[in-house]
Amino acid sequence: MRMWQPAILFFNFMMIGGFLLSGSSLSLAEQLPSQEYVRKAGLLYNFARFIEWPRTAYPNEDEFIIGVLGEDPFKEALEPLTEKMIEGRQIRIERYPSIEDIDFCQILYITPLAADQMKKDFDVLASRSILTVGERSDFVQSGGMIGLVEKDGEIHFEINVSSAEAAHLNISSKLLTLAQKIW
């Protein structure tokens, strides 16, 4: 009977260890970005490559800032972008809890907000050369510049050209031809 006791202890240890590890992996999975947001991070990088900002949009000539307004759905998906450059500027990621916290950035990803909050944010940003990107269905109709839309499991985008022009942003014709819809 003593010979079986170590085997039972080992089995119990493995079961408890497996249970704890499975709990840890769930917690780790919750921390990892979804493939959807990895693709969206790639889109933000590609948008930056096809848009021209005025010189006044760069208070620091060495940095290109991608900001996230609100609760960050990207988790760690944006971090690989910090190893890349846009027009000779190192990409930096900033997260902003509110619109009032934003000093400067070139791209601002606006997480889904209530319609009245989104309108207020667009009013605050109207005079600044910041490309606004969001995923609400009414994002570009409400004044956002690029709206991400999921269709048939793919992520497409719409562009509000007049909002971008009002912010003194020049969108490449190559990007415009890829847009699903132009407003």
Same domain, 160 and 101: yes
Mean pLDDT per block of 10 residues along the chain (183 residues) reads: 40 33 42 85 98 94 95 94 97 94 95 79 89 94 94 94 96 97 91
Same domain, 68 and 86: yes
SS3 breakdown of the chain: % helix, strand, coil, rounded to 5? Answer: 40, 25, 35
pLDDT at 66: 98
pLDDT at 118: 83
pLDDT at 115: 61
Same domain, 75 and 124: yes
pLDDT at 150: 92
Instruction: Give the C-alpha distances (Å, rounded to integers) separating 48 from 71, 89, 130, 138.
Output: 22, 11, 11, 22
* Domain of 162, in residue numbers: 35-182
- CA angle, 122 then 64 then 141, to 5°: 25
Tokens of 132: 């606004």
Q: Tell how far CA 157 is from the center of its chain.
A: 14
Q: Tell how far CA 12 is from the center of its chain.
A: 44
Domains identified in the chain, total number: 2
**Are the beta carbons of 72 and 93 closer than 8 angstroms?**
no
